[in-house]
Chains A and B, each alone.
Chain A
Amino acid sequence: MDIAVKKWRFNQLLLVYILMAAFMAISGIFKPEVWVWAVWENVFFWAGILGIVSIGQTAVILTNGIDLSIGAIMIFTIMLSCRLMVGLVERILPVSVFCLLLGAALGFINGLGVAKLKVPPILMTLATSTSVYGLTWLYGGAGGRGRIPMVANNFIMGNLLGIPVVAVFWIVLLILFIFLMHRTTFGRKVYSIGSNPRAASLSGVNVDKIITWVYAISGFLSALAGLFLAFFVVSASMQWVDDYTLPSIGAVILGGTSFVGGKGGIERTIIGVIFWRYLISLMTMVKTTYPLRLMLEGAIIIGLMIVYSGMRRD
């Protein structure tokens, strides 16, 4: 019986992966121009940015939480870095460090609220997200002020062995975090909190501390992705609507990390991220309108949750 359940679980994951592969193949047949390296370079560039935030999102979801403040922290970082750098090369490093620390601090606030004050993660991060949005608008104003030095832009647009620099960063972070999650006590604690917080606490895990750290990591990675996005767009403009919170959640679900916590992992999210970005590239190619794209994203999330729902029955 136990084996049968496990098999079924595996098959559902496999089913989704096969569906994704089939979708890619079929769309490739109908739209052969997808199979050009330039398209995939584009996919990998954006997958790099989405992938960086998805690492944090996966870690948060593994602890039974969710982080809705990713997009807000990213936009805040874009605005802040543009305003503080004002095109000066010597400011790149200090401002970047400042932005990253600020992102980590915002994540830390999320973590404190969830761990110490026991506010449900969805509402805590929603509150942070709303406040950070307000802060962005208040401080940044409607028009874009300040700009990023072109050096940073050239750096981010560059390639390393044909792979976009952002994607290289993503790969490095992936290796780092897969090691962290699977080979260190910190990672094991994250998994144990996800699968059973009470048992973890009884066996001596400092649950509050680990949860706070996980949210701080997510905030830090959001700020990093925001910084890269700022380097790409050069000047802050408020047209940059929140395009990352939902896709990061979608990528985690697509990859097969479960919302009951403690099941899945960062390595699974890779596939989700690449597929999600591929889907968006494809939608841009066939000129899907923004409303249609939103509807599709919502439908994918609902559909996937239904498909994966069998995984939680144990």
Chain B
Amino acid sequence: MRISLGKAFRRGNYMGVYLILVIFIIFLSVMSPSFRSGRNWSNLATRIFPLFIVGLGESFVMLTGGIDISIGAQVSLSAAIASCIMGDSISSIMLGIICPLIGGVLVGLLNGFVVTRFKVAPFIITLGTMVLLQGLTFQIRWMPGGYISKEFADVVLYRLGILPLGPLVSLIIFGFLAIVILGKTPIGRNIYAVGGNEEAARLAGVNTSRVKIFAYVLCSLFCALAGLYEGARMQCADPHVGDPFLMDGIMVATLGGTSLFGGQGSPIGVIGGAIFIASLGNMFNLLDFNTFTQYIIKGFVLVSCILLSHLQVSRRTEISRRQV
């Protein structure tokens, strides 16, 4: 089986994000000596993976034309579940990894099933799921605490000297996996088909419900992974750990060239989006912006991301029209 990266490269509007990213990083490196330091790069690299994985999940849902706004709550829930189960023995670590993942799959099935079976607007159903999961998280873990095994954290965040090998390798594995799923498997092709034109896909014999449910399940699974990662990074579970991921996940996906109306986007763009959002957070920390200024700026960045994606989409449609 030949895996062509070409398709993945052609399907997204990621040139914009990489251009902005390069300019942004050059700008930061010139302006700030502490940004250039190796230690900061390594710190930055550990922040990219959770943003990437959540943005990737969100981009799967957005490719089918939906949206999932329960992603943040899912991240918190997964960390909370893991922190309750995980001990020091191998079996309890395994259980602590598997249970949040199963929880993620169940949440994805719930979202996907309700959206497809009852034809309800995705944003309102996932808003309901978000509140439901927030309640569940607070029920499990009211205050930050719990225990995430040190051994598990060491594996996930494995560092070779200054190089954070663990997060980088996971990033590459999941990026590759996503490219293969979207480019080489029938369900991946169907995701693009459903997002491009659902009615046409249905008439062509695609089981649109199954495709959408698959996207929601994958999204929730990825959010659960991000929750485990964040838990491992902090060695405990905070019920608010996932809160920023709602905005960040959507920003990563839209900035990476995923269209809000479905059918366009590629994991390669999402990686660029994740690196950009991680560097933005890094910049905030280096410049010592407080959390609240960050909130204000992030609101603007979200709207700009969407405007950027609109521009790209309209240009893309123009080009494809000209080609026809």
Contacts and interface: CB of A to CB of B under 8 A. Distances in A.
Interface of A: 66, 113, 117-120, 122-124, 126-138, 246, 249, 253, 259-260, 289-302, 305-306, 309, 312-313
Interface stretch (B124-132, B160-168, B172-180, B219-227): B124-132
Contact of B131 (A122, A124, A135, A298): A298
Nearest to B134: A294
A131 B299 contact: yes
B120 interface: yes
A137 B127 CA distance: 24
A305 B135 contact: no
A294 B132 contact: yes
Contact of B123 (A122, A300, A309, A313): A122
Interface of B: 67, 69, 114, 118-121, 123-125, 127-139, 142, 246-247, 250, 260, 290-300, 302-303, 306-307, 310
B64 to A, nearest CB: 15
Contacts of B139: 289, 291-292, 295
Given A291-B139, A306-B114, A134 B300 contact: no
Contact of A128 (B121, B131, B299): B299
B250 A123 contact: yes
Contacts of B302: 123, 126-127, 130
A74 to B, nearest CB: 17
Q: Which residue of B123, B137, B247 has the most chain A CB atoms within 10 A of its CB atom?
A: B123
B306 A295 contact: no
A119 B128 contact: no
8 contacts: A126-B302, A127-B299, A128-B299, A134-B298, A291-B136, A294-B131, A296-B135, A306-B118
Contacts of A309: 118-120
A137 B135 contact: no
Contacts of A129: 299
Contacts of A297: 131-132, 135
B130 A305 contact: no
Given A138-B293, A294-B134, A119 B127 contact: no
A284 to B, nearest CB: 16
A134 B294 contact: yes
Nearest to A297: B131
A294 B138 CA distance: 9
A82 B138 CA distance: 31
Nearest to A109: B303
B296 A301 contact: no
B128 A298 contact: yes
A292 B135 contact: yes
A302 B136 contact: no
A259 B124 contact: yes
B135 A246 contact: no
B192 to A, nearest CB: 20
Contacts of B292: 133-138
B132 A298 contact: yes
Contacts of B127: 246, 249, 301
A50 B9 CA distance: 49
Contacts of A294: 131-132, 134-135, 138
Given A127-B303, A298-B132, A309-B118, A249 B124 contact: yes
A293 B135 contact: yes
B132 A302 contact: yes
Nearest to A135: B296
A127 B295 CA distance: 9
Given A130-B295, A291-B136, A246 B131 contact: yes
Top 3 nearest A-B pairs by Cβ distance?
A298-B132, A134-B295, A294-B135
A66 B123 CA distance: 10
A123 to B, nearest CB: 6
B121 to A, nearest CB: 5
Nearest to A68: B127
Given A137-B292, A293-B135, 14 more contacts: A117-B307, A119-B307, A120-B260, A123-B303, A249-B124, A291-B135, A291-B136, A291-B139, A295-B139, A299-B128, A301-B124, A302-B129, A305-B125, A309-B118
B195 to A, nearest CB: 15
A122 B67 contact: yes
A130 B303 CA distance: 11
A111 to B, nearest CB: 13
Contacts of B303: 113, 117, 119, 123-124, 127
A10 to B, nearest CB: 19
A253 to B, nearest CB: 8
A305 B307 contact: no
A138 B290 contact: yes
Contact of A313 (B119, B142, B291): B119
A292 B69 CA distance: 20
A260 B247 CA distance: 25
Given A120-B306, A127-B300, A305-B125, A290 B138 contact: yes
B177 to A, nearest CB: 27
Nearest to B142: A291
A313 B119 CA distance: 9
A205 B34 CA distance: 55
